[in-house]
Amino acid sequence: MGRVLLAAVAAGSTLGAAPGPARVDLLIRGGTIYAGFDAPFFGDVAISGDRIRAVGPHLAFTAGRVIDAGGMIVAPGFIDPHTHVGDQLVSGDSAKRLIPGFLLQGVTTAFIGNDGGGDPDVGKVLSRARARPVGINYAAFVGFGAIRERVIGEQDRAPSSAELKRMQAMVASGMCQGALGLSTGLFYAPQSFAKTDEVVALAREAGIRGGVYDSHIRDESSYTIGLAAAVDEAIAIGREGGLPAHISHIKALGVDVQGQAPAIIAKIELARASGQNVTADQYPWSASGTSLVASLIPLWAQDGGRPALLKRLDNPALTDRLREGILENLRRRGGAAKLLLVQGKYANRTLDQVARKLGQDPVSAAISVIRVQDPRVVSFNQSEQDIAAFMRRPWVMTSSDASGGHPRVYGSFARKYRQYVASEHVLTLREFVERSSSLTADTFGIEGRGRLRPGTYADIVVFDPKRYAERATYERPTLAARGVRFVLVNGALAVDGGKLTGLAAGRALKHRPTPGSCR
């Protein structure tokens, strides 16, 4: 608290030399300030242009606009390190580019290009915001998947040494254009074809330039190498690549690995104790979002896409093998009652309910539905104990993994507050704020954001602690959160009195590569 007070008094007294109190553009008065560091206190925030001028109790400023924050929490705008809003940010629809579902939760910065999906042309990605204004700030990863597809295609083989050099050059160039680091999604083909050594060789290029290795790990469940070995691999890539390793949306997915959170935490904390920088992010939902085919149909039967799958469904010679594979995936995901269809004819019914309605067993019901379409499903596959265990660790930050058909787009930060802070006390409010702002900014090198203090960018959320909550549900995933009163993005009011203003004040954030690492 001492540091905040000193800074505020210094700013106030210097300016006090002019006749009368100094003037700022905006004054947020009388809120409880969680600055992203230190203990909370009662006070004001003064904003001039796009920056915070002062933070402290009873600031002596006059202002063009005074916001009464009585009874409210004032915090740094939240930073979401794992999203899939890249397409929305470049959409032709200016209202979509505001990312309203994020603003109405107080999220002012999102990372894009996760899971290995980032465009290697990071310069282009970051320059788009100039022509098409966006509602929130964004920063980008350079993605392994996109690079491997360009250089090797979809094939299951190792790169030649010339191909490896080309991929390394693409990572280096993405980093020099401002990428946060290298993202991978080793679970997904063709990234899954890469051996650990290949990934290390590319991660090293990001590390030399100050980047982070950000990974949707090879297995979050029991599909291939298993959760524990996949975490070991991510840690090894960080260690051998010489860069921080960050595990995306950490979880123990499915009945085979439920209960493993303590063992996974122990692995990560052992690496941290040895001096390695290993972190993770997490979305606060027990269900993941996918499609019925992706969740149940064995990989061999998906080869060749939907037409080939439909042919296999009609081939009596394959029936037994196919049914066995579906049954195994159902078991892994906890049974037919744990799969909720959220699209199509059977929207808002579990596969179990669909089966009863059709008078079939769950495997036959799944096949009947898939013959007609491939609806989105939410798959309830994590235990609340594992979710809480991961959440308590000081190196786990808040994320959304925002993508369609799942309430995590509109509700992740608000839900984490309502359920895990206000209702279940898994975290304190201060922990929630810091792990949704400063921890994320520090981990990924986001400069001048994530804390409320003089000189930082004015990305600020003002929310009502009695009302802040998600409204989105699995059945109605696009309901906006409630309880956020004001949101500033670079000093501009994006949410005013609980309503979107339509101001698109977001910026592309360019990560600064290590000096001398780009020529």
Which residue ranges make up the site for Zn ion (CB under 5 A)? 115, 216
Asked if residue 463 lies in contact with residue 485, where contact means CB atoms within 8 angstroms, the answer is yes
Rounded to a whole number of angstroms, the minimum distance from the CB of residue 216 to Zn ion is 4
Q: Report the distance separating Cα 242 and Cα 453, nearest Å.
A: 32
Rounded to a whole number of angstroms, the minimum distance from the CB of residue 403 to Zn ion is 9
Rounded to a whole number of angstroms, the minimum distance from the CB of residue 246 to Zn ion is 12
CA distances from 183 to 142, 180, 467 (A): 6, 9, 36
Which CB, 186 or 480, lies closer to Zn ion?
186
Asked if residue 483 lies in contact with residue 76, where contact means CB atoms within 8 angstroms, the answer is no
Total residue length of the chain = 519
Which CB, 218 or 485, lies closer to Zn ion?
218
Task: Tell me which amino acid residue 476 is.
Answer: R
Q: Report the distance separating Cα 401 and Cα 380, nearest Å.
A: 16
- Give the tokens for residue 441: 């900014």
| Number of other residues whose CB lies within 10 A of the CB of residue 75 | 28
Which CB, 115 or 459, lies closer to Zn ion?
115
| Number of other residues whose CB lies within 10 A of the CB of residue 272 | 16
Q: Report the distance separating Cα 341 and Cα 263, nearest Å.
A: 32
Closest by CA to 489, choosing from 104, 125, 135, is: 135
Q: Report the distance separating Cα 506 and Cα 504, nearest Å.
A: 6
Q: Report the distance separating Cα 256 and Cα 275, nearest Å.
A: 31
Rounded to a whole number of angstroms, the minimum distance from the CB of residue 187 to Zn ion is 8
Place of tokens 């051996």: 195
Which CB, 183 or 350, lies closer to Zn ion?
183
Rounded to a whole number of angstroms, the minimum distance from the CB of residue 362 to Zn ion is 27
Rounded to a whole number of angstroms, the minimum distance from the CB of residue 328 to Zn ion is 23
Which CB, 115 or 205, lies closer to Zn ion?
115
Rounded to a whole number of angstroms, the minimum distance from the CB of residue 84 to Zn ion is 8
Which CB, 41 or 193, lies closer to Zn ion?
193
Which CB, 216 or 451, lies closer to Zn ion?
216
State which residue has the least CB distance to Zn ion: 216
Which CB, 223 or 486, lies closer to Zn ion?
223
Task: Tell me which amino acid residue 335 is.
Answer: G
Rounded to a whole number of angstroms, the minimum distance from the CB of residue 394 to Zn ion is 23
Pairing verdict, β 22-33 and 61-68 = parallel
Rounded to a whole number of angstroms, the minimum distance from the CB of residue 248 to Zn ion is 5
Task: Tell me which amino acid residue 203 is.
Answer: A
The two most distant CA atoms of the chain are separated, in Å, by: 90
Closest by CA to 384, choosing from 286, 282, 487, is: 286
Pairing verdict, β 339-341 and 492-496 = unpaired
Which CB, 187 or 463, lies closer to Zn ion?
187
- Please tell me the chain's helix, strand, coil percentages from 3-state DSSP, rounded to the nearest 5: 40, 20, 40
Which CB, 44 or 115, lies closer to Zn ion?
115
Rounded to a whole number of angstroms, the minimum distance from the CB of residue 188 to Zn ion is 8
Rounded to a whole number of angstroms, the minimum distance from the CB of residue 103 to Zn ion is 23
Which CB, 291 or 456, lies closer to Zn ion?
291
| C-alpha dihedral, 314 to 320 to 325 to 331, nearest 10° | 120
CA distances from 24 to 21, 32, 52, 64, 380 (A): 10, 20, 10, 7, 49
Which CB, 187 or 413, lies closer to Zn ion?
187
Rounded to a whole number of angstroms, the minimum distance from the CB of residue 401 to Zn ion is 6
Q: What residues contact 32, with CB distance under 8 A and at least 6 apart?
A: 40, 41, 42, 72, 73, 74
